Each structure stands twice: as C-alpha cells, then as structure tokens.
C-alpha cells in the first residue's frame, strides 16, 4: 500500500521517529524536512485490519489552542513558515471503497458533540485522515459543509468543548469502532473551572441565539417576498379591498419584526446612531465572547440576558405569524379564488375524464 501524503519523489538522507510525538521525520535532499504526524496508523495497519474492512486508530490527546489574528496575514513572502499540523486531534481510520462512513465525537454521556464525516461513501480503499478542532460545530453552517473555513472572512467558529474525556466513534457499514480522546484546555488561559464552564455555557447560548436570529431574519425576508406577490395578485382582483386591508396589517407586522431584528439604518449599519440592532448585537456578542480568554464581563452578561428577552419576543411573534395569522389569511385567499402563491397549501381537482364508448 503506497503512502506518500504529498511527499515528492526525492532522496531521503535521514529518518527518525520522534520519541515523544511518534511522528515520522524525514530529512530530504536539498535541506528539506517532511513530517508525517502520528505514525500509529503504520504500526496498527495489519493484514487482519485490512481484511476486516475498517479500523479506527488511536487518537492522541488534543490541546486547545486559542488563536488570535495579530495582523500578519498581508506580509507576502517576507515571512515563510511551513504549515503546522491542524489544531486539535488528528483522527485516522481505514475504510474500503464505497462503504458509508460516519465519524462522530461523543461526550461522556454519549451525546454527539461534533460530526466529522456525515455518512459519505469512501472514495477508495485505504487510510483516511481528518481532524477535530476540539470545538462544537459553528453556529451557522452551509448545508453539506462539515468543517470550518479559514481566513479573515470565515464565519464564526464553534465554541470550545470543555476539557475532559471524549470518544471518537467510527461507523463503516454495520461495523463500529471507538477510541478515547482526552481534551486539554489551553494552558495559557488562566481561569478556574467554574469560570470556564460559565464561558462555555454563555458561548453555546449565544450560538443558539445567533442561529435563531438568522432564522427569524430569513423568515421575514421570505414572508416579505410572498406578501409582495400576493399584493400584486390582489391588485388585479376585483373586490379585493378587504383582503388588501388584511394584507397591509400583516405586512406592517412583518416590517415591525424586521426592524426589531435589523433596525432601520439610514446611512449603513456602522453610521447608525445608538446600540446595534438585535441580530447584529447577538452576532457581536457571540464573536467577542467566543474570542475572549476570560469569562463574560458584566456588560456581556447584561446584554446577553437583554437580547435573549427581545429575541424571545421576536420568536413569539414570528411563530404566531406562521402558525395563525398567515394560515388564516391563506384560507381566505383560497376561498376568494386568488391565484396560488408560495406558502399556501396545494390543491388538486378530482380526476374527471369522459367514459370511452
């Protein structure tokens, strides 16, 4: 079985296995270095493992590393550094081509805290590697995406899990394998266990609020578009004045909810006086609290509680709109024969065909 892992065809003059990290270090011709992190897979990939069709190899402990952007990303070639291993723990497994692979991280209670591979078929027979950054999934994630993006314009990161004992679970077809993994907190973050728990719980709460605020905004935008289409149909419908009045009342409620979430910026968000609107405030609370290396401040705690109260009001109004107001309005539109629009139930007339002689 070939194992290159981006190693070019080059003369290798020295080989050593790091005594502490168990990494394979090669010295190549031209004063180059090549490092294969954690060669436990080479030690454990036996003929029996290959015959069995799947295997999850031991996972080294993960050390949380709280990165901070120091503004050195635009220095071009002035600074050259080779890529480091990915943050967190490297997970290595063996699978056969076509087998469906699920790879999850579980906490002590058996709850999935992160999905690393979401039931995708193995593209080939061989060894695969991925990494867990010792975080929960990001609060906002595009469908089909599992990992985090990198870079300045990446979305918000997931919160760090609490230090402790976890398990990595591999499912390949009907086979299941588990390996323990220990998570160690960033030693440079000097806070007590109680403070770390408060920080952890606050970031998770804000992440949930961030998702809810974005969902509410998406709902407002969708309903606004649907109402605009309904208004155009009603404008062409004779005797639709009562329905148009109802439409205006509903549209006003949707606009009011939207203003609670995003405010009414006159010159752009940055130049709008006063505190940020609810959705932006929740996003800022999440990013600043997650990026901190200390428990939440009194101001962060105050605005988290205040934002949660306001978001609860928004959720109540959105759910009432979706569960009561709009369905009742849609039924009246159907009764009046208004052209179908998105968001309304579909109807199919009974089959009526003449009998053949």
Q: pLDDT in tens for each of the 357 residues of the chain?
A: 566 667 888 899 999 999 988 888 999 887 788 888 888 888 888 899 899 999 999 999 999 988 766 555 555 555 656 777 888 999 999 999 999 999 999 999 999 999 999 989 999 999 999 999 999 999 986 544 444 444 444 568 899 999 999 999 999 989 999 999 999 999 988 899 999 999 999 999 999 999 999 999 999 999 999 999 999 999 888 888 999 999 999 999 999 999 999 987 655 555 566 678 999 999 999 999 999 989 999 999 999 999 999 999 999 999 999 999 999 999 999 988 888 888 888 888 888 887 766
Predicted local distance difference test score (pLDDT) of residue 259: 92
> Are 131 and 37 a contacting pair, CB within 8 Å?
no
In a domain, 348, yes or no: no
Predicted local distance difference test score (pLDDT) of residue 148: 45
Task: Verify that 266 and 176 share a domain, yes or no.
Answer: no
In a domain, 56, yes or no: yes
Task: Verify that 177 and 231 share a domain, yes or no.
Answer: no
Measured CA to CA in angstroms, residue 9 lies from 16, 38, 204 at distances of 19, 21, 47
Predicted local distance difference test score (pLDDT) of residue 144: 43
**Number of compact structural domains in the chain:** 3
Task: Verify that 62 and 122 share a domain, yes or no.
Answer: yes
In a domain, 59, yes or no: yes
Task: Verify that 169 and 288 share a domain, yes or no.
Answer: no
Task: Verify that 18 and 57 share a domain, yes or no.
Answer: no
In which domain, by residue range, is 61 found? Answer: 45-66+85-139+157-189
Predicted local distance difference test score (pLDDT) of residue 59: 94
Predicted local distance difference test score (pLDDT) of residue 151: 46
In a domain, 341, yes or no: no
Task: Verify that 164 and 229 share a domain, yes or no.
Answer: no
Task: Verify that 182 and 101 share a domain, yes or no.
Answer: yes
CA nearest 142: which of 203, 214, 87, 209?
214
In a domain, 343, yes or no: no
- pTM (predicted TM-score): 0.82
In a domain, 152, yes or no: no
Long-range contacts of 341-350 (CB under 8 A, 24+ apart): 341/226, 341/229, 341/230, 341/233, 342/225, 342/226, 342/229, 343/222, 343/223, 343/226
Strand locations in the chain (E):
12-17, 24-28, 32-36, 54-56, 62-63, 89-95, 100-106, 112-121, 126-132, 164-172, 175-184
In a domain, 356, yes or no: no
Q: What is the CATH number of the domain that holds 114?
A: 2.60.40.4070
In a domain, 352, yes or no: no
CA angle 249, 253, 254 (to 5 degrees): 115
Predicted local distance difference test score (pLDDT) of residue 81: 66
Task: Verify that 307 and 219 share a domain, yes or no.
Answer: yes
Task: Verify that 199 and 179 share a domain, yes or no.
Answer: no
Task: Verify that 213 and 285 share a domain, yes or no.
Answer: yes
């Amino acid at each position: 079985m070939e194992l290159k892992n981006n190693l070019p065809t080059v003369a290798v003059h020295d080989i050593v296995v790091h005594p502490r990290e168990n990494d394979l270090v090669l010295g190549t011709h031209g004063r180059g270095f090549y490092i294969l992190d954690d060669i436990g897979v080479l030690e454990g990939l036996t003929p029996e493992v290959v015959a069995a069709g799947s295997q999850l190899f031991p996972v080294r402990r993960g050390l949380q590393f709280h990165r901070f952007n120091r503004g050195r990303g635009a220095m071009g070639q002035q600074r050259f550094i080779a890529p480091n291993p990915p943050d967190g723990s490297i997970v290595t497994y063996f699978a056969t081509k076509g087998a469906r692979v699920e790879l999850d991280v579980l906490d002590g209670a058996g709850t999935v805290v992160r999905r690393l591979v979401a039931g995708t078929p193995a593209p080939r027979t061989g060894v695969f590697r991925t990494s867990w950054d010792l975080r929960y999934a990001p609060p906002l994630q595009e469908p089909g995406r599992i990992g985090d993006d990198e870079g300045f314009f990446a979305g918000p990161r997931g919160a760090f899990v609490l230090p402790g004992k976890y398990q990595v679970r591999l499912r390949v077809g009907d086979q299941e394998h588990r390996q323990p993994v220990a998570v160690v907190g960033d030693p440079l973050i000097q806070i007590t266990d109680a403070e770390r728990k408060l920080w952890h719980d606050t970031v998770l709460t804000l992440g949930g609020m961030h998702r809810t605020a974005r969902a509410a905004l998406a709902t407002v935008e969708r309903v606004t578009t649907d109402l605009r289409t309904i208004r155009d149909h009603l404008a062409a419908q004779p005797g639709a004045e009562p329905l148009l009045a109802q439409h205006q009342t509903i549209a006003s409620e949707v606009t009011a909810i939207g203003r609670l979430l995003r405010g009414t910026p006159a010159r752009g968000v940055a130049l709008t006086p006063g505190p940020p609107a609810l959705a932006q405030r929740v996003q800022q609370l999440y990013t600043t609290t997650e990026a901190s290396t200390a428990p939440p401040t009194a101001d962060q705690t105050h605005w988290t509680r205040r934002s949660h109260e306001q978001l609860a009001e928004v959720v109540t109004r959105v759910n009432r709109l979706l569960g009561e107001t709009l369905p009742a309005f849609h039924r009246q539109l159907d009764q009046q024969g208004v052209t179908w629009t998105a968001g309304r139930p579909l109807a199919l007339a009974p089959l009526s065909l003449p009998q053949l002689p």
